[in-house]
Amino acid sequence: MIRKTSLLVWLLLGMTVTAVAAQDTLRLSLSRDFGAGFGTEIQGRFSMHVEGPDDLVRVLFFIDETQVAEQTAPPFRYQFSTGNFPPGAHVLRAVGVTADGRELTSNTLTRTFLTSSDANQRVAMTIVPVIALVIGVSLFSWWLASRGQKASGQAAINGPFGGSICPKCHKPFARHWWGMNVVIGKLDRCPHCGKWSVVQRAHPDLLQAAYEAMLQAEKGAADTLTTSPEDKEKTFHKQLDDSRFDN
Protein backbone atom coordinates (compact mmCIF):
# COMPACT_ATOMS: atom_id res chain seq x y z
CA MET A 1 0.00 0.00 0.00
CA ILE A 2 2.89 2.34 0.92
CA ARG A 3 4.64 1.58 -2.40
CA LYS A 4 1.48 2.35 -4.35
CA THR A 5 1.05 5.65 -2.48
CA SER A 6 4.68 6.62 -3.15
CA LEU A 7 4.30 5.81 -6.82
CA LEU A 8 1.17 7.97 -7.01
CA VAL A 9 2.96 10.87 -5.28
CA TRP A 10 5.91 10.68 -7.68
CA LEU A 11 3.53 10.55 -10.63
CA LEU A 12 1.68 13.65 -9.43
CA LEU A 13 4.98 15.45 -8.81
CA GLY A 14 6.14 14.57 -12.32
CA MET A 15 2.95 15.89 -13.87
CA THR A 16 3.29 19.09 -11.83
CA VAL A 17 6.90 19.62 -12.93
CA THR A 18 5.94 19.00 -16.56
CA ALA A 19 3.08 21.51 -16.34
CA VAL A 20 5.38 24.14 -14.77
CA ALA A 21 8.02 23.50 -17.44
CA ALA A 22 5.41 23.88 -20.17
CA GLN A 23 4.32 27.20 -18.68
CA ASP A 24 7.93 28.43 -18.68
CA THR A 25 8.56 27.43 -22.30
CA LEU A 26 8.93 30.01 -25.05
CA ARG A 27 8.60 28.46 -28.50
CA LEU A 28 9.93 30.27 -31.59
CA SER A 29 8.81 29.27 -35.11
CA LEU A 30 9.32 30.70 -38.59
CA SER A 31 6.84 30.99 -41.45
CA ARG A 32 7.26 32.08 -45.06
CA ASP A 33 5.12 35.04 -46.14
CA PHE A 34 6.52 35.62 -49.63
CA GLY A 35 9.74 34.13 -50.86
CA ALA A 36 11.61 30.89 -51.30
CA GLY A 37 12.80 28.27 -48.86
CA PHE A 38 15.26 25.46 -49.51
CA GLY A 39 15.62 23.66 -46.21
CA THR A 40 17.56 26.03 -43.97
CA GLU A 41 18.25 28.44 -46.86
CA ILE A 42 15.66 31.22 -47.24
CA GLN A 43 15.07 34.38 -49.28
CA GLY A 44 12.21 36.87 -49.14
CA ARG A 45 9.75 37.91 -46.42
CA PHE A 46 9.41 35.70 -43.36
CA SER A 47 7.78 36.00 -39.93
CA MET A 48 9.02 34.94 -36.50
CA HIS A 49 6.23 33.67 -34.20
CA VAL A 50 6.42 33.18 -30.44
CA GLU A 51 4.15 31.03 -28.26
CA GLY A 52 4.46 31.10 -24.49
CA PRO A 53 2.58 31.18 -21.19
CA ASP A 54 -0.70 33.06 -20.81
CA ASP A 55 0.91 35.78 -18.67
CA LEU A 56 3.46 36.69 -21.38
CA VAL A 57 3.47 40.51 -21.66
CA ARG A 58 6.57 41.33 -23.73
CA VAL A 59 8.69 39.61 -26.37
CA LEU A 60 12.03 40.75 -27.77
CA PHE A 61 13.10 39.38 -31.16
CA PHE A 62 16.75 38.93 -32.02
CA ILE A 63 18.63 38.17 -35.23
CA ASP A 64 22.13 37.20 -34.15
CA GLU A 65 22.92 39.51 -31.22
CA THR A 66 20.87 42.44 -32.50
CA GLN A 67 17.39 43.16 -31.15
CA VAL A 68 15.23 43.78 -34.21
CA ALA A 69 11.76 44.17 -32.68
CA GLU A 70 9.72 44.30 -29.47
CA GLN A 71 6.07 43.28 -29.11
CA THR A 72 3.94 43.99 -26.02
CA ALA A 73 0.69 42.32 -27.06
CA PRO A 74 -0.27 39.04 -28.74
CA PRO A 75 0.08 37.77 -31.33
CA PHE A 76 3.80 38.03 -30.78
CA ARG A 77 5.04 38.20 -34.36
CA TYR A 78 7.79 39.98 -36.26
CA GLN A 79 8.04 40.10 -40.07
CA PHE A 80 11.37 40.74 -41.74
CA SER A 81 12.98 40.65 -45.18
CA THR A 82 16.19 38.71 -45.71
CA GLY A 83 17.34 41.43 -48.10
CA ASN A 84 17.75 43.81 -45.15
CA PHE A 85 20.49 41.62 -43.68
CA PRO A 86 23.85 40.45 -45.02
CA PRO A 87 23.70 37.10 -46.86
CA GLY A 88 24.92 34.15 -44.89
CA ALA A 89 24.05 32.22 -41.72
CA HIS A 90 22.01 33.99 -39.02
CA VAL A 91 20.67 32.86 -35.64
CA LEU A 92 17.06 33.74 -34.76
CA ARG A 93 15.86 33.78 -31.15
CA ALA A 94 13.44 35.53 -28.81
CA VAL A 95 13.28 36.55 -25.15
CA GLY A 96 9.95 36.84 -23.35
CA VAL A 97 8.95 38.54 -20.10
CA THR A 98 5.95 37.44 -18.02
CA ALA A 99 3.69 39.59 -15.86
CA ASP A 100 5.54 38.55 -12.68
CA GLY A 101 8.91 39.50 -14.18
CA ARG A 102 10.15 36.06 -15.23
CA GLU A 103 12.44 36.12 -18.29
CA LEU A 104 12.13 33.23 -20.74
CA THR A 105 14.49 32.39 -23.58
CA SER A 106 13.23 30.64 -26.70
CA ASN A 107 14.80 27.99 -28.83
CA THR A 108 17.14 29.18 -31.60
CA LEU A 109 16.72 28.78 -35.37
CA THR A 110 19.70 28.98 -37.70
CA ARG A 111 18.92 30.05 -41.26
CA THR A 112 21.10 31.01 -44.23
CA PHE A 113 19.88 34.18 -45.94
CA LEU A 114 20.26 34.02 -49.73
CA THR A 115 20.47 36.84 -52.23
CA SER A 116 17.78 36.97 -54.93
CA SER A 117 20.23 35.73 -57.57
CA ASP A 118 21.23 32.77 -55.39
CA ALA A 119 17.56 31.96 -54.79
CA ASN A 120 16.85 32.07 -58.54
CA GLN A 121 19.70 29.64 -59.13
CA ARG A 122 18.31 27.29 -56.48
CA VAL A 123 14.86 27.47 -58.11
CA ALA A 124 16.35 26.72 -61.53
CA MET A 125 18.32 23.79 -60.12
CA THR A 126 15.10 22.43 -58.61
CA ILE A 127 12.66 23.05 -61.48
CA VAL A 128 14.83 22.11 -64.49
CA PRO A 129 15.34 18.46 -63.43
CA VAL A 130 11.61 18.15 -62.70
CA ILE A 131 10.70 19.54 -66.13
CA ALA A 132 13.24 17.25 -67.79
CA LEU A 133 11.80 14.26 -65.92
CA VAL A 134 8.23 15.14 -66.96
CA ILE A 135 9.28 15.55 -70.61
CA GLY A 136 11.23 12.29 -70.49
CA VAL A 137 8.29 10.37 -69.05
CA SER A 138 5.93 11.89 -71.64
CA LEU A 139 8.26 10.99 -74.52
CA PHE A 140 8.72 7.46 -73.18
CA SER A 141 4.96 7.00 -72.84
CA TRP A 142 4.48 8.29 -76.38
CA TRP A 143 7.18 5.92 -77.67
CA LEU A 144 5.48 2.96 -76.01
CA ALA A 145 2.09 3.98 -77.44
CA SER A 146 3.58 4.48 -80.92
CA ARG A 147 5.34 1.12 -80.73
CA GLY A 148 2.08 -0.59 -79.82
CA GLN A 149 0.26 1.18 -82.65
CA LYS A 150 2.93 0.16 -85.18
CA ALA A 151 2.83 -3.44 -83.95
CA SER A 152 -0.93 -3.51 -84.51
CA GLY A 153 -0.66 -1.73 -87.86
CA GLN A 154 -2.45 1.36 -86.53
CA ALA A 155 -1.36 4.81 -87.66
CA ALA A 156 -0.14 7.24 -85.01
CA ILE A 157 -3.11 9.28 -83.84
CA ASN A 158 -1.67 10.48 -80.53
CA GLY A 159 1.67 11.75 -79.29
CA PRO A 160 3.48 13.80 -76.64
CA PHE A 161 1.53 16.88 -77.78
CA GLY A 162 -1.78 15.03 -77.93
CA GLY A 163 -3.94 14.06 -80.85
CA SER A 164 -6.57 15.99 -82.82
CA ILE A 165 -9.27 15.45 -85.41
CA CYS A 166 -8.95 17.50 -88.57
CA PRO A 167 -12.01 19.77 -88.98
CA LYS A 168 -11.63 19.55 -92.77
CA CYS A 169 -11.38 15.80 -93.46
CA HIS A 170 -12.43 14.57 -89.97
CA LYS A 171 -9.45 12.20 -89.73
CA PRO A 172 -7.37 11.84 -86.54
CA PHE A 173 -3.66 12.60 -86.34
CA ALA A 174 -0.96 13.22 -83.74
CA ARG A 175 -0.24 16.90 -83.24
CA HIS A 176 3.25 17.89 -84.36
CA TRP A 177 5.92 19.47 -82.19
CA TRP A 178 6.45 22.19 -84.77
CA GLY A 179 2.80 23.27 -84.65
CA MET A 180 2.29 26.86 -83.48
CA ASN A 181 0.55 27.25 -80.13
CA VAL A 182 -2.23 29.83 -80.13
CA VAL A 183 -4.72 30.83 -77.47
CA ILE A 184 -7.45 28.36 -78.44
CA GLY A 185 -5.30 25.47 -79.65
CA LYS A 186 -2.41 24.60 -81.94
CA LEU A 187 -2.08 25.69 -85.58
CA ASP A 188 -1.14 22.41 -87.24
CA ARG A 189 -1.17 20.72 -90.64
CA CYS A 190 -3.26 17.61 -91.22
CA PRO A 191 -1.12 14.82 -92.75
CA HIS A 192 -4.20 13.38 -94.49
CA CYS A 193 -5.61 16.35 -96.41
CA GLY A 194 -2.63 18.69 -96.08
CA LYS A 195 -4.72 21.62 -94.80
CA TRP A 196 -3.84 23.89 -91.88
CA SER A 197 -6.27 24.33 -88.99
CA VAL A 198 -6.33 25.37 -85.35
CA VAL A 199 -6.91 22.09 -83.56
CA GLN A 200 -7.38 21.23 -79.91
CA ARG A 201 -6.31 18.15 -77.99
CA ALA A 202 -8.96 15.43 -78.36
CA HIS A 203 -9.83 12.69 -75.88
CA PRO A 204 -8.30 9.27 -76.73
CA ASP A 205 -11.79 7.74 -77.06
CA LEU A 206 -12.75 10.33 -79.69
CA LEU A 207 -9.47 9.74 -81.53
CA GLN A 208 -10.07 5.99 -81.58
CA ALA A 209 -13.65 6.43 -82.83
CA ALA A 210 -12.47 8.77 -85.60
CA TYR A 211 -9.73 6.30 -86.52
CA GLU A 212 -12.20 3.43 -86.80
CA ALA A 213 -14.52 5.59 -88.92
CA MET A 214 -11.58 6.42 -91.18
CA LEU A 215 -10.79 2.71 -91.59
CA GLN A 216 -14.40 1.93 -92.45
CA ALA A 217 -14.47 4.71 -95.04
CA GLU A 218 -11.19 3.53 -96.56
CA LYS A 219 -12.44 -0.07 -96.63
CA GLY A 220 -15.65 0.99 -98.35
CA ALA A 221 -13.70 2.97 -100.94
CA ALA A 222 -11.37 0.01 -101.52
CA ASP A 223 -14.31 -2.36 -102.01
CA THR A 224 -15.79 0.01 -104.57
CA LEU A 225 -12.53 0.19 -106.53
CA THR A 226 -12.03 -3.60 -106.55
CA THR A 227 -15.55 -4.40 -107.77
CA SER A 228 -15.45 -5.56 -111.41
CA PRO A 229 -17.74 -4.02 -114.11
CA GLU A 230 -19.54 -7.36 -114.44
CA ASP A 231 -20.31 -7.46 -110.71
CA LYS A 232 -21.53 -3.88 -110.85
CA GLU A 233 -23.82 -4.77 -113.79
CA LYS A 234 -25.18 -7.85 -112.00
CA THR A 235 -25.86 -5.79 -108.92
CA PHE A 236 -27.63 -3.17 -111.01
CA HIS A 237 -29.86 -5.75 -112.74
CA LYS A 238 -30.68 -7.40 -109.42
CA GLN A 239 -31.70 -4.07 -107.93
CA LEU A 240 -33.77 -3.41 -111.06
CA ASP A 241 -35.53 -6.78 -110.85
CA ASP A 242 -36.22 -6.34 -107.16
CA SER A 243 -37.75 -2.94 -107.81
CA ARG A 244 -40.42 -4.46 -110.13
CA PHE A 245 -42.08 -6.10 -107.15
CA ASP A 246 -42.29 -2.87 -105.19
CA ASN A 247 -45.75 -1.40 -104.80
What pLDDT, on a 0 to 100 scale, did the predictor assign at position 76?
95
Instruction: Say if residue 223's pLDDT is above 90.
Output: no
Indicate the residue type of 155: A
What percent of the chain is modeled with pLDDT above 90?
46
What pLDDT, on a 0 to 100 scale, did the predictor assign at position 9?
47
| Domains parsed from the chain with CATH numbers | 28-120 (2.60.40.10), 135-238 (no CATH)
Please report which confidence band the pLDDT of residue 34 belongs to, taking 50, 70 and 90 as the band edges.
Answer: very high
pTM to 2 decimal places? 0.48
Rounded to whole angstroms, how far apart are CA atoms 228 and 239? 17
**Highest mean pLDDT (candidates 134-148, 193-207, 209-223):** 193-207
The string of pLDDT tens digits covering residues 231-241 is 667 766 666 56
What pLDDT, on a 0 to 100 scale, did the predictor assign at position 229?
67
- Distant-in-sequence contacts of 113-117, Cβ < 8 A, 24+ apart: 113/42, 113/43, 113/82, 113/85, 113/86, 113/87, 113/88, 113/89, 114/36, 114/38, 114/41, 114/42, 114/43, 114/82, 114/87, 115/43, 115/83, 115/87, 116/43, 116/83
Cis ω for the linkage preceding 167 (within 30 of 0): no
Please report which confidence band the pLDDT of residue 217 belongs to, taking 50, 70 and 90 as the band edges.
Answer: confident
Please report which confidence band the pLDDT of residue 136 belongs to, taking 50, 70 and 90 as the band edges.
Answer: confident
What pLDDT, on a 0 to 100 scale, did the predictor assign at position 148?
55
Instruction: Say if residue 165's pLDDT is above 70.
Output: yes
The string of pLDDT tens digits covering residues 49-94 is 999 999 999 999 999 999 999 999 999 999 999 999 999 999 999 9
Q: Report angle CA 203, 204, 205 to the nearest 5 degrees.
A: 90
- Per the DSSP assignment, residues forming a β-bridge with 110 are 91
What pLDDT, on a 0 to 100 scale, did the predictor assign at position 178?
86
More confident residue, 152 or 204: 204
Q: If you average pLDDT over every residue of the chain, what do you get?
A: 82
The string of pLDDT tens digits covering residues 145-160 is 556 555 555 567 888 8
Instruction: Say if residue 21's pLDDT is above 50.
Output: no
What pLDDT, on a 0 to 100 scale, did the predictor assign at position 22?
47
Instruction: Say if residue 8's pLDDT is above 90.
Output: no
What pLDDT, on a 0 to 100 scale, did the predictor assign at position 5?
54
Instruction: Say if residue 36's pLDDT is above 70.
Output: yes
